[in-house]
Amino acid sequence: MKNKITIIGSGYVGLVTGACFAEMGNKVTCVDIDTIKIKNLQKGIIPIYEPGLEALIATNYHNGNLKFTAHLESVIDHTDILFIAVGTPMNENGSADLKHVLTVAKEIGKLIQKPILIIDKSTVPVGTAEKVRQSIQTQLDKRKLTITFDVVSNPEFLKEGNAIADFMKPDRIIIGSENAQSIAILKSIYAPFFRTHDRFIIMDIKSAELTKYAANAMLATKISFMNEIANICELVGADVNKVRVGIGSDSRIGYNYIYPGAGFGGSCLPKDVNALAYTAKEYGYTPTLLKAVNTVNDNQKLVIAKKVIQRFGTNLTGKTFTIWGLAFKPGTDDMRQAPAIYTINELTKRGAKINAYDPKATQEAKTYYLKNNKHVSYFKDKYNALKKSDALLLLTEWKEFRSPNFDTIKDNLNQAIIFDGRNQYNAFHLDKNGFEYYQIGKK
């Protein structure tokens, strides 16, 4: 018997979740209040770039396993399992904004007519499942109905650029629930994603909610720590890549997430570190380490701009710089909190002009993140973007940047100067190529 699953929220998490469950034969409906987005999805137009997602959606839409609608009321009576996967953007004070989650909960309470399992997939602070439960119950009380429902925490651990593989072959599935029936249902729908290992981790709801934040905070901490070491290496004349190898060989530390770079961005790490810090303060605890992680990261996003200023001076009027890489990481068009934004704005406010190239994120930059910066020109070809520029700045680890034509780069630039904000794994070896080459963590 195929599970009937509804997913509210057709953004990054909702679409990946819906497409992957549909791929395993479930009947899935993705719901979103954005009618234009829904119409586009029905036409095969995907609002985000994620490798493999467009094809996965197209296949399952055409075979009938995946549908899209703007009307929750049209599908909720036929739903057994309902995922909440709406956004939880960061408020100005750092807290997670739960208005979308609670609006959905209220709507569920107004509409349900039969028992249902509700799963929080959105990244939410501790106590959210209880708020969702209360919101639904309030509406049922107003309707004078007694309907059995349960709210479970099931956080996602998807990496942008690798989300399909992460969902299909998960490291773990965390289920926050003390209800044996709910746990059994979740295990059954996730069972097809496991072949040999049982990777379910069962815990109470609050622990599940906190685990998501703790995981991202740990990753962010490793990144900021290594970036701080990189900055120290530059000052003392050490090579951060050699230091990285030296510490990564310790099995207690490992090599993951200890590559220095221009700071972390995206929709998860910056937001989740802030939300966890806010939660800690709400309970009377001062999260000193989390604040330091953010401070280091905020400074690191300007590290390449500072190198450019050190080389060319504080007044950059008349200078043009080429940026390769706008997305916060490869494999996505996501520019939220991307180092490129901070680098470009810092250079242009000093008079510079920017020629920008990115294989996927150009439209995002034009439409949202750099739309008010009139000193940026966009190019469809990375080499054309170099013409008459005074230096090349690399800010995203796209594979196509790993082995460029250095002769073409040198021929197009006014001066053979490269500033590399990518991690050391992608570093060039330019000692004998006549380039001035500036890296993070090397003097």
Q: Which residue has the tokens 């965390």?
A: 174
**Cα–Cα distance between 425 and 428 in angstroms, integer?**
9
Query: The tokens of 403 are what?
Result: 């082995």
* Active site (annotated) includes residue 268: yes
Taking each helix axis from N to C end, the angle separating 339-348 and 303-312, rounded to the nearest 10 degrees, works out to 30
Where in the sequence numbering do the catalytic residues fall?
Answer: 268
